[in-house]
Amino acid sequence: MHDADTIMKTSHGMQPRMPGAGRLPKNPDLVLLEVENRYRSFFENIEQGYYEIDIQGNFIFFNEFVGRIFGCPMDELHKINYRQFMDKENADMAYQAFSYVYETEKPRIGCVFQIIGKDGIKRDVGFSICIMRDSRGKKIGFRGIARDISERKKIEAQQRHAQKLESIGQLAAGIAHEINTPIQYTADNTHFLKDSFGEIETALKSYSRLYESVKAGLQTKAVVREIEKVTSEIDLDYLREEIPKAIAQSLEGLENVAKIVSAMKQFAHPGMDEKILTDINKAIQNTITISRNEWKYVADMMTDFDPSMPLIACLPGEFNQVILNIVVNAAHAIGDTEDAKSGRKGTIKVTTRREGRWAEIRISDTGPGIPKEIRDRIFDPFFTTKEVGKGSGQGLAISHSVIVKKHGGTIGFETEINKGTTMIIRLPMGNGNG
């Protein structure tokens, strides 16, 4: 899309001038030679491949760049069929694309196929396809531009990875905070239990002496006085009240830590490139748990999950990433409101529902809403309203690509100024062949 834009702009900006136009003609042969030279130089030096193939798909005319893309010397490429450079899947896709152009006679741009060059190197190549006719108008083949976009694809993959790292880096700081807090109080309580046990033991010693005295039928007055003294010194009542609380809170702390650690493990799904049947309710709950530090200071979290939600085929790592992006955005949106600045918390509400053949996830915030003028840009790559350094502007663009391209779902939003925004994700139920 961007490339098409650029091309359009250049063609408007610099009208290609026909050599000789607007001047008095010199020798017509000379003019012709000049024109030919110019086009030849353009054809040979343009940093893109130009190809013509016949109706069967054999190369009949092409420049050097096509040879480079196909990893094949120019003279060897002539009359060779493009299918020889593709695996079956790509060859079928290409066949479909060419058939479509043949039938509809409409040109296509941005068809991407993987080429396995004669040199053995795999390249992602973008093609534009136009129908080619002879002088009588008969369809005799196709022509178009071919571009090696492997580099660009690599960069896109890197950006996805960078965004993931960025949000994980931010998460890690939050998670450290979430874990440190229960560890702090659990450790403090355990120290207290250790100290208290020492004190209780001194009391127990006095009690044993009392027991020995009673058993031996001796005077107990002195021991009783000792017990009174010891129990008041160590404040036994306080200990009896506090020890059970200290134990309960420590257990709670350990449970919290365990919960966070297990949620982290389930969040990341390293190296999972295949769709697996996923309990999305649980996955969302997990993401909410590990991102707690990102929202808890500005919002209360409400969840309303459809208990009858079936398992959904998805890439769990990427799905979690999407939910994380949206939850963090919701928290930031609420953090921007005047309410948040004066200490009133907003609400983030996450619901899941079955809607026909879709599994629908709604994530609502009580933030300021999305201003009209940017509504159609929020899924654009690098679009961000956050201050520099706060976000790469990739979060929603990547979420969009994950949900739409990889899952065959949809992502959209409802928003109202000063009321809030609801992001709506729909994933296909069933096999989910997106």
Partner 1 sequence: MEMDSQENTTRKSILFVDDEPKVLNGLERMLRPMRNVWTMSFAESSQKALEILKDSHFDVVVTDIRMPVMNGLQLLSEVKRLYPDTVRIILSGESDRELTMKAVNVSHQFLNKPCDTEILKAAISRIGDLSTLLQKDSIKAMVSRVDSLPSLPSLYVEIMRELQSNDSSIRKIGDIISRDLAMTAKILQLVNSSYFSLPRHISSPEQAVFLLGLDTIKSLVLSIQVFSQFKLKNMPVDYLKRLWDHSMLTAASSKKIATQERQDQVVIDNSFMAGLLHDSGKLVMASCFSDRYAEVVSMAEGSRLLTEKERELFDVTHAEAGAYLMGLWGLPYPIIEAIAFHHSPGRANTKQFTPLTAVYIANILEGQKAEYFTDRSQLAVDHEYMAAMQLKAAYPFWDMPEPDRLKEASAHEQ
- Which residues lie near partner 1 (CB under 8 A)? 172-173, 176-177, 179-189, 191-192, 195, 242, 245-246, 249, 252-253, 293, 297-298, 342-343, 345
Q: How far is the CB of 317 from partner 1 (least distance, A)?
A: 24
Please state the three-class secondary structure of 139-157 as a single string.
EEEEEEEEEECHHHHHHHH
Q: How far is the CB of 295 from partner 1 (least distance, A)?
A: 11
Beta carbons of 140 and 366 less than 8 angstroms apart:
no
CB closer to partner 1, 158 vs 180: 180
Q: How far is the CB of 384 from partner 1 (least distance, A)?
A: 18
CB closer to partner 1, 293 vs 321: 293
In degrees to the nearest 10, what's the CA dihedral of 211, 213, 219, 225?
-50
Enter the tokens of residue 265.
């493990």
Beta carbons of 363 and 422 less than 8 angstroms apart:
yes
C-alpha closest to that of 379 among 308, 329, 316: 329
d(CA 45, CA 10) in angstroms, rounded, equals 17
DSSP string spanning 9-31?
HHHHHSPPPPTTTTS----HHHH
Beta carbons of 423 and 413 less than 8 angstroms apart:
yes
Task: Compute how many other C-beta atoms are within 10 angstroms of the C-beta atom of residue 131.
Answer: 19
Q: For 73, list phi and psi in degrees, rounded to 5.
A: -60, 145
Q: How far is the CB of 193 from partner 1 (least distance, A)?
A: 8
CB closer to partner 1, 144 vs 335: 335
Q: How far is the CB of 303 from partner 1 (least distance, A)?
A: 21
CB closer to partner 1, 293 vs 401: 293
Q: How far is the CB of 419 from partner 1 (least distance, A)?
A: 22
Q: How far is the CB of 296 from partner 1 (least distance, A)?
A: 8
CB closer to partner 1, 185 vs 383: 185
Beta strands in 172-298 (DSSP E): 276-278
Q: How far is the CB of 249 from partner 1 (least distance, A)?
A: 5
d(CA 64, CA 73) in angstroms, rounded, equals 8
Q: How far is the CB of 410 from partner 1 (least distance, A)?
A: 35
CB closer to partner 1, 239 vs 402: 239
CB closer to partner 1, 121 vs 176: 176
CB closer to partner 1, 294 vs 360: 294
Residue 122, helix vs strand vs coil: strand
Q: How many CA atoms lie within 13 A of 101 on its CB side?
A: 24
CB closer to partner 1, 253 vs 409: 253
Q: How many CA atoms lie within 13 A of 433 on its CB side?
A: 0
Q: Torsion-angle region of residue 420: left (phi > 0), alpha (psi -120 to 50) or beta?
A: left
